[in-house]
Amino acid sequence: MTDPKSDPESNPINDPLSPIRLQIMWDRLIAVVEEQALTLIRTGFSTSTREAGDLSAGVFDISGDMLAQAVTGTPGHVNSMARSVRHFLDRFPIEEMADGDVFLTNDPWKGTGHLHDFTFLTPCFRGGALVALFASTCHVVDIGGRGMTSDGRTIYEEGLYIPLMRFAHAGKIDQAVIDIVTANVREPVQVVGDLHSLATCNDLACRRLCEMMDEFAIADLDRLGGHILDRSRIAALDAIRKLPEGVYHHQMRIDGLEEPVDLVAEMTIGADGIDVDFTGSSGISSYGINVPLCYTEAYATFGVKCIVAPDVPNNAGSLATIRITAPKGSILNAQHPAPVAVRHVTGQMLPDVVFGCLHEALGEAVPAEGTSCLWNLYAYGGPGRVDADPALLADAQSFTVLSFHSGGTGARPGKDGLSATAFPSGVRNVPVEVTEAMSPLIVWRKEYRQDSGGAGAYRGGLGQVMELSLLEDAPFAFSALFDRIDHPPRGRSGGADGAGGTIGLQSGATLNGKGTQTIPSGERVVIEMPGGGGLGDAKTRDPAQVVADARAGLISIEAAHDQYGIALTPDGEIDAAATDRLRNA
Amino acid sequence: MTNAHLAADIGGTFTDIAVTHQGALFTCKVPTIPDAPEEGIFRGVRQAMAETGLTAADFSLIVHGTTLATNALIERKGAKTAMLVTDGFRDAVEMAYENRFEQYDIFMDKPPPLVPREFRYGVPERVDAKGDVLIPLDENAVGGLIEELRKHRIEAVAIGLMHSYAAPGHERRLGDILARELPDVLVSLSCEVSPEIREYERWSTTAANAYVQPLMSHYLGRLSSELGEMGFTCPLRLMTSGGGLASLETARRFPIRLVESGPAGGAILAARVARECGLDRVLSFDMGGTTAKICLIDDGAPQQSRSFEVARQYRFMKGSGLPLRIPVIEMVEIGAGGGSVARVDALSRIHVGPESAGAVPGPACYGQGGDAPTVTDANVTLGRIDPDNFAGGTMKLDAALSAGAIDSDVGEALSLSTLSAAFGISEVVEENMANAARVHAVERGKEIRGRTLVAFGGGAALHAARLARKLNIDEVIVPVAAGVGSAVGFLQAPVAYEVVRSRYALLDETFDATGLNALYAEMRTEAEQIVAEAAPDADLIETRTADMRYHGQGHEIAVELPAGPYDVSLRDALTGLFETAYAATYSRRIPGLEVEVMNWTLRLSATVEDPAPCPPMPNATTPEPLGMRDLFDPDTGILSTAPVYRRDALTPGAEIAGPAIIAEDETTTIVLAGFIARLNAVGYIVMQWEGS
């Protein structure tokens, strides 16, 4: 212990280079963007903003480097919002920005991947000087066009397209923007409300930043920003340098739409970072499951970070160590005017592909494949809204239901997968009672799907079964956006595949995995969601866990016997002799 | 009978006792006996009676709060419980929200449900959202289930059927059948425990109620009968999470409402201080060994809510616990207490908590083998805690052990001196608390600046002045008996009960005022019966709120309603009230959007005498310090000599300029430079920021 009185560094709070002071300011900056995001969540209208945390908020230095980003529910904005700030600065140099200016866009290629996401940028002035930039993104409930479906053939069908432009000039909101949005979307009050929310949360964050700069008596963010970016870059590189250098490959085939899609990755781990290139992946689809590069980058980066450096915050320093590329014109770098409305169906698969590369590099450190894409319930009904005889719809109640649901995740090293849980997206479902109170839909069944989790030493998470119908005698529209039907999540290291998904009518007809379809009057829709892949040989699974799974009904007695090599007596105990024969055969 | 009141608050380590008698307050702490918590109470009661000279017959009220239910949920030591739910929904309590609460950790696990899948049974029946029966209850199938419950020796059953908040018939029928067939099994109905829409929360709450019910029922029975044997004939009331007192019967039916009673008691104390001192806007700050609790108190009343999460198992993170929909005093609780452990991460950042060294081994300075640096160790190093006079001198602390732990776990990693590293730990924990308070205020649409901080609990007064500076707060109050604040708060709580009903209403031409009047009449009857058990002759105050939102939103805000009965004009009045509340929370309103109501609540509370207004500050006197001690000054970054005072030696009017230390047995108040501390007429320390 040094003598406090002769402490060589005796004045930590007043030393601007003091690590304590820099840390406190860094923590405060993160708190500012968390508050920015929270404000957006609390005031947002779109289900995906408030329940799925489908939004983003961040602070940038005046050169456009992201210093802090709120941790929100979906990875889709990791780095993509940061890229959009560069596009804003290219179009509107900071010298031309005035206090009270606000900029916006929903450009899928310069924003966050589809027209439903608006990104707002607000320059933050303090005492007349530009000190920082705040950006925020959220998903709006409607953007005109065909809506959130795969049905569009070009971006022009997918809705209103607002290029990079001003939302407000020196504090005065441009009424023309509001009028254009109002005239083009189905829920103008809510959408315009969300635009105001985006502007408001940036404003609030700017005020909080200025208060912080007052408290710590700093005139700019240069030194703090430099500290954050250096520390984060070094921490990310330290983590990367613990991995074996080399070039690793993985590919995965998914259902796609008109034909299966191959996602092919080459990962290069080097001393200066990780590069992932998607050369070899399929070309674009004719429908809206294509992914702009910004969104490919977001999900691929998220996958790398989960395994390599989960604790390092997202900012320009840490994110610069992970670089993502894909050839132009591939499904992972779709070019304008390709349709991209539901790019998440494809993008959400990318962490599994990245995990495959890391599995090759690291061995048993990554999960098996999971359902990965959401299995959302998206249905609507009422006159004029369903492709059916108008006479059948004359008395039908108008409704729209959107609730987020999930299959199983892949088994994890040392742990089973999570059943009916979203990954990589971070969504929350809508309670069945709320869905039923707001619409004529009724859900008859929503429970785990037995034997859907891939068998393994660690079992994949189970999918779930949902059955639903309309309480009134009318057809309704069901919009499917599902994958992993023909190509189930694969197991790793000897683990079995999870069960593929199914979708059909109780009367026997099969429905398409993607696209809007009409459900005839009186029919019940049955959705069986995929289970995650297993990890390791099922015959090595701890027998006690197999017994527990069987007792809970997560696996059948037959699966215990056939897949896990565990024979059970009628009262659920292990038949030791028979098991020995099964396991040591 | 001399109208003495006694409060007992069982915490994890200590049981706090407070007695009021003819205006005097007596408090003491005795160790908690985990295996027989009632024994701790009896000891404390005997000690209180010995020291005050009161006998059992002198008491007219005993108020009790306990962490027993909370601990049973955290440690998973409740009853063997089964659930009966609508066929097709047996996994609702396990699927929860189908999400992950931590985005980047692929190894995170969701909290396992209290009832494992093998004991969750589907019952053939179905009711829709309007309450119409789609499938009648299959009573034949129930017969088979009863055999199963018997075979597995189930001790408690939670019943949760779809839309039972609107149509409780099937649940009640099932409950009747179980009561008849399994008379020894305790049954909780979701339509009674938490009659609110949203099946996961309602069933999770009901399962938790069932899970703790046998334990709590036996415990309360033992407590009540043994108090009787000790000669107490006065009523025993239980403190609830909502801040109201419940009768023994209500507590046995709804034991889940007893969780978090300790923190609720603290908030009530702070609210009383606010009313006494005429403070409209207060932030209460309660810091103990493991966590800190922060609560907004406006117009003398704590914020109320019906959303709580118990037993968070992942770094205290939101979403990692079990949701409960019960009336609670709204507060934010973070893993920041005296025992919170500091460490340095890969980015050379100091982290403090939520891991806690607990009471054993405790902070390094306890010398009980703990080698991790804690907040208490930082406070010892910074001169805030006197190692020779900790806990009233009952415990000697070893400052060298603090310094060693801080050096090895924080100082060396960051090349910082012991003092700087200790300062870093205290700054980080204070910053964490400040950030939690800010986020909490944003979530409630409130401003923090300009509030008065009311600090209590063992650790709060050590950090209150610095926290106030970080939050732009200029006034800090440390009330008397701050170290046993919750027990003191119990004595000031009213008998109260809150009833909720989910009845969806769109505020358009379909709005039905007559139906609403009938609903409120039914709620009033239910609440009156329960309140009358505990306060038969009291004057009652009724408060009504509606949980409202714009059509299509996912979060509601609670809006206070005018008194009934209502006619159709309520529709526009409600829309107006909602828009005003919405604008207050979010700084805007959205004209043209329809407004909807999800839930209606009624809170019935017995009146409590308001505290006498605090007399004005007596004339200033300058007390003599008992001694001097080195104290770290965060503004200058150096240790400098500060005067030390004993709080019990100060008289009202005493004025002390910071830097200074005011010590008492259960806590220490740090007066930072720039603050002036005064002892007010009722003995509270009032610190005022005078500027640097």
- ipTM field: 0.93
Of A192, A208, A233, the residue at which a domain comes to its end is A233
The answer as to whether A326 is a domain residue is no
* A interface test, pick of B86, B89, B100, B423 with most A CB neighbours within 10 Å: B100
The answer to whether the beta carbons of residues B465 and B670 sit under 8 Å apart is: yes
Task: Please report the pLDDT score of residue A77 as a whole number.
Answer: 85
The answer to whether B112 and A548 are in contact (CB under 8 A) is: no
pLDDT band at A1 (very low <50, low <70, confident <90, very high): very low
Q: Say which DSSP state A496 is in.
A: P
Residue A254 lies in a domain: no
B573-576, long-range: CB < 8 A, 24+ apart: B574/B507, B574/B546, B574/B548, B575/B507
Lowest-confidence pick of A281-285, B2-6, B261-265: B2-6
Residues of B in contact with A406 (CB under 8 A): 98
The alpha-carbon gap from A31 to the nearest alpha carbon of chain B, in Å, equals 6
**Structural domain of residue A562, as residue ranges?**
542-585
Give the N- to C-terminal CA distance of chain B in Å, as an integer. 54
Mean pLDDT of A390-399: 93
Q: Which amino acid is at B180?
A: R
* A483 and A575 co-located in one domain: no
> Domain count of chain A?
3
- In this predicted structure, the answer to whether residue B194 has a pLDDT above a threshold of 50 is yes
- For residue B423, pLDDT beyond 90: yes
Contact B494, B606 (CB under 8 A): yes
Whether residues B423 and A367 touch (CB distance < 8 A) is answered with no
How distant is the Cα of B126 from the closest Cα of chain A, in angstroms? Answer: 9
Predicted pLDDT of residue A165:
97
A55-64, B630-639, B652-661: which has the minimum mean pLDDT? B630-639
Q: Which of A189, A310, A552 sits opposite B105 (nearest CB)?
A: A310
pLDDT of residue A74: 79
pLDDT of residue A2: 39
- DSSP assignment string, B195-211: --S-HHHHHHHHHHHHH
Instruction: Indicate whether A304 belongs to any domain.
Output: no
B459/B430 Cα distance (integer angstroms): 12
pLDDT above 70 for A3? no
Is B431–A305 a contact, with Cβ atoms under 8 angstroms apart?
Answer: no
- What secondary structure letter does DSSP report for B621? B
Bond preceding residue A188 cis, omega within 30 of 0:
no
Which residue of chain A comes nearest to B126, CA vs CA?
A444
pLDDT for residue B587: 66
Chain B residue closest to A439 (CA)?
B129
Average of per-residue pLDDT across B483-494: 89
Same domain, A529 and A546: no
Spatial separation of the C-alpha atoms in residues A80 and A78, rounded to whole Å: 6
Q: Which domains, from first to last, does chain B contain?
A: 4-73+218-258 (3.30.420.40), 78-217 (3.40.1360), 496-606 (3.30.1490)
**Residue pLDDT, tens place only, A34-76:** 999 988 887 777 766 766 677 899 999 999 999 999 987 678 8
Least Cα separation, residue B530 to chain A (angstroms):
29
Which chain A residues have a beta carbon less than 8 Å from that of B418?
A: 1-2, 4
Q: Are A528 and A550 part of one and the same domain?
A: no
Domain boundary among A177, A204, A233: A233
The mean pLDDT value for B274-300 works out to: 93
Nearest to A16 by CA among A205, A207, A222, A209: A222
* Residues A179 and A83 grouped into a single domain: yes
Q: Which residues contact A109 (CB under 8 A, 6 or more apart)?
A: A292, A293, A294, A335, A336
Q: What is the pLDDT of residue B219?
A: 94
Is it the case that residue A4 has pLDDT exceeding 60?
Answer: no
Say how far apart CA B633 and CA B635 lie, in whole Å: 5
Indicate whether B59 pLDDT > 80.
yes
| Predicted pLDDT of residue A5 | 37
Cis peptide bond N-terminal to A424, omega within 30: yes
Mean pLDDT of B291-308: 91
* Start-end of H helices in B261-323: 261-276
Residue B588 binned pLDDT confidence (cut-offs 50, 70, 90):
low
Interface touch A418/B416, C-beta < 8 Å? no
Q: Which residue of A has its CA nearest to B345?
A: A311
Give A75's contacts in chain B (Cβ within 8 Å): 103
One domain for residues A580 and A469:
no
Residue A10: pLDDT band (50, 70, 90) is very low
pLDDT at A92: 97
Contact (Cβ atoms closer than 8 angstroms) between residue A288 and residue A150: yes
Query: Same structural domain for residues A566 and A455?
Result: no
Question: A519 and A549: one domain?
Answer: no
Q: Kindly state whether residue A336 falls inside one of the protein's structural domains.
A: no
| A557 and A460 both lie in a single domain | no
Distance to chain B for A37, nearest Cα, Å: 11
Cβ of A9 and B420 within 8 Å? yes
For residue A578, the distance in angstroms to the closest alpha carbon of chain B comes to: 25
Considering only CB atoms, B103 lies closest to which of A4, A71, A307, namely A71
CA atoms within 13 A on the CB side of A232: 27
- Quick count: other Cβ atoms within 10 Å of Cβ B517? 15
Which pLDDT value is given to residue A14? 54
Cis amide bond preceding B361, omega within 30:
yes
Kindly state whether residues A514 and A426 are assigned to the same domain. Answer: yes
pLDDT of residue B531: 87
Of the candidates B200, B349, B417, the beta carbon closest to that of A7 is on B417
Residue B302 scores a pLDDT above 50? yes
Task: Write out chain B residues lying below 8 Å of A141, CB-based.
Answer: 552
Instruction: Convert the pLDDT of each residue in B360-374 to its tens digit.
Output: 788 999 999 999 999
Query: Which residues lie across from A215 on neighbouring strands?
Result: none
**Given A12, A39, A306, which is nearest B104 (Cβ)?**
A306
Give B509-523 pLDDT, tens digit per residue: 889 999 999 999 999
Predicted confidence at residue A15, as pLDDT, reads 63
Q: What is the pLDDT of residue A8?
A: 40
- Across the interface, which of B91, B98, B439 has its CB nearest the CB of A405? B98
Nearest CA in chain A to B435: A31
- Minimum mean pLDDT range among A157-171, A253-267, B517-531: B517-531
In a domain, A357, yes or no: no
Give the Cα separation of B596 and B504 in Å (integer).
7
Q: What is the mean pLDDT of chain B?
A: 92
Is A146 part of a structural domain of the chain? yes
The pLDDT score that the predictor gives to residue A54 is 79
Instruction: Look at residues A190, A218, A233 and tell me which one is the last residue of a structural domain.
Output: A233
- My answer on whether A572 and A433 are in the same domain is no
Q: Which residues of B touch A190 (CB under 8 A)?
A: 552, 590, 593
Looking at residue B155, what is its pLDDT?
97
Tell me what percent of chain A is helix, strand and coil, each rounded to the nearest 5.
Answer: 30, 20, 45
| A565 lies in the same domain as A438 | no
Are B424 and A193 inside 8 Å of each other by CB? no
Closest of B54, B51, B125, B112 to residue B86, by C-alpha: B125
Q: Same domain, yes or no, for A494 and A563?
A: no
A232: chain B residues, CB-CB within 8 Å: 347
Does residue A16 surpass a pLDDT of 70? no
Record: contact A1-B400, CB cut-off 8 A? yes
The candidate with the shortest Cα–Cα distance to A389, out of A475, A460, A274, A493, is A475
